Copies of this chain bind each other. A is one copy, B any other.
């Protein structure tokens, strides 16, 4: 089960979503470089909004306060180093992968695992919303005409993702390599070319007045730090996905994690230096990254290309959630913490349901904040840091239990990671509570409560169903099959054939409110003479369902097993389905709700 779960979660970013065909998933194990492009999109794309959120947090203390961007970024980079080394440990200890939920469930117990699950769900939804909002910002920087329609652009992007995922795409790591490569190359080019120029080549956006409304105190610095931590979201993805690497997979995954850490660290520091060098202040209609891009390349085609690539990569980052959430939901379902239905993630309708719920929630969030990236970031970072803290803590407990050689050193490292991420979480909660973090503080416990209520229901239901006990042997009963019919036809013949095979006794019933029609049917029946009794049920109020329900409940009284067999004409062509079918389904639904008999549907196919 442990393996099972971990591997499930590990499949997050790159497995085809609806694995119905055999043999798939065997050949696409990843090299380090493929792993980097498939698993680091979420993390790398954070540089599009992380540095900017530091700048926006500092500017309340005036333009001069922006000089603090670089030192704050350096602190965040130190945290990044600790996280990357810690996750190297996680990879070694959980070579079967394992998200925060799996680790917490195994090493920390019930409540922490519920906490991890809830924060992961929040995280998946927010990844979609933040990435789309930030991608839209990048697009608007390139095409200012879209400025008034940011929300519409966001929702259009979401619609695209939803449509693609409802169809069930097969994502391939190789397909993701090109945009990832372009993105990394673009950001490095911005940094290198930008630093090489004596002055920014061009300014974009509209100037906005900068007023210092607060002094550059500890609170402002903490806020900037906690906002900037949003740049670290996504570094856990590789550790979740170890089984998707080629052998030696631990080595490859660790190498990939290091590469991700190095790239992300260099990009963050480089951008911070460039922000300082160019004296960037927030300007209207453009992102900070777009300002740096214009500074490096001017406003020619490179400017457009870079912004479009950034938007594309953010769109792909949003897409990772559509792979991850259904996997998490199926794990929760198997632990009886979500409806068991979601355990059937391989079934297309179930998967689609998950996609629809994720899209709808993300759409509501985007509408609520009017597609403003920086209103979402406080919500976003908390969930992620909760996950960091839980998995680091789990690892400390793991070391203490297993005590391998050098366990103290390793536990100390993970402990440091846990302490740092706990501090970051507390800072985020403290400084951002009123700015949106309260939403997470309210939502996460509610979800934990929901999971635990569902768990309680399933326990009670299992008790009621006698799970784990040996039930009495099945009884032997005689049976009566009731066949509701409308006319004497081939359908009636088919239905009676089936009913006679299934029942010791068979009765046909017909509901009519028109005595003439009933008489005509009775005549036809007698001419046919199928050897089965026909009962005519009167329906003064034109209801088909009521008389049948009454008849069936009456028949079920004598201790026999009663079944109602409903023949349903099934035309081959989809568009005729609405013309047939519906009356029987209506009857079946009502019978299931209001009687205890077996309700049987017999499809009768016709060639139309």
Q: Give me the interface of A with B, judged by CB distance under 8 Å.
A: 1, 4, 19-22, 339-341, 344-347, 349-350, 454, 457-458, 460-461, 464-467, 469-479, 481, 487-493, 496-504, 514, 524, 527-532, 540-546, 560-561, 563, 565, 568-571, 576, 578-580, 582-583, 586, 588-589, 592, 596, 598-608
Bound-complex Cα distance A351 to B379 (A): 44
Closest 3 CB pairs of A and B: A501-B561, A474-B496, A341-B582
Contact indicator A569/B493 (Cβ below 8 Å): no
Contact indicator A476/B501 (Cβ below 8 Å): yes
B residues in contact with A589, CB < 8 Å: 349
- Stoichiometry (number of copies): 2
The verdict on A598 contacting B601 (CB below 8 Å), with A4-B514, A474-B497, A502-B561 known, is yes
Q: How far is the CB of A27 from chain B (nearest CB, A)?
A: 16
The verdict on A493 contacting B474 (CB below 8 Å), with A598-B602, A600-B598, A602-B598 known, is yes
B residues in contact with A467, CB < 8 Å: 487, 489
The verdict on A586 contacting B350 (CB below 8 Å), with A598-B502, A601-B599 known, is yes
The verdict on A543 contacting B458 (CB below 8 Å), with A466-B490, A501-B477, A583-B340 known, is no
Contact indicator A490/B477 (Cβ below 8 Å): no
Contact indicator A578/B339 (Cβ below 8 Å): yes
Cross-interface CB contact of A501 among B470, B479, B569, B606, cutoff 8 Å? B479
Contact indicator A596/B603 (Cβ below 8 Å): yes
Bound-complex Cα distance A540 to B531 (A): 47
Cross-interface CB contact of A543 among B20, B544, B603, cutoff 8 Å? B20
A-B contact pairs, 13 of them (CB 8 A): A20-B541, A20-B546, A341-B583, A344-B542, A458-B579, A461-B569, A461-B580, A471-B493, A476-B500, A476-B501, A477-B501, A565-B598, A598-B602
Bound-complex Cα distance A106 to B127 (A): 64
The verdict on A470 contacting B524 (CB below 8 Å), with A339-B578, A598-B502 known, is yes
B residues in contact with A561, CB < 8 Å: 497-498, 501-502
Q: How far is the CB of A546 from chain B (nearest CB, A)?
A: 7
B residues in contact with A340, CB < 8 Å: 579-580, 582-583
Contact indicator B470/A527 (Cβ below 8 Å): yes
B residues in contact with A571, CB < 8 Å: 457, 461
B residues in contact with A530, CB < 8 Å: 473-474
Q: How far is the CB of A216 from chain B (nearest CB, A)?
A: 45
Bound-complex Cα distance A19 to B544 (A): 13
Contact indicator A603/B608 (Cβ below 8 Å): no
B residues in contact with A491, CB < 8 Å: 465
Contact indicator B464/A606 (Cβ below 8 Å): yes
Q: How far is the CB of A489 from chain B (nearest CB, A)?
A: 4
Contact indicator A347/B543 (Cβ below 8 Å): yes
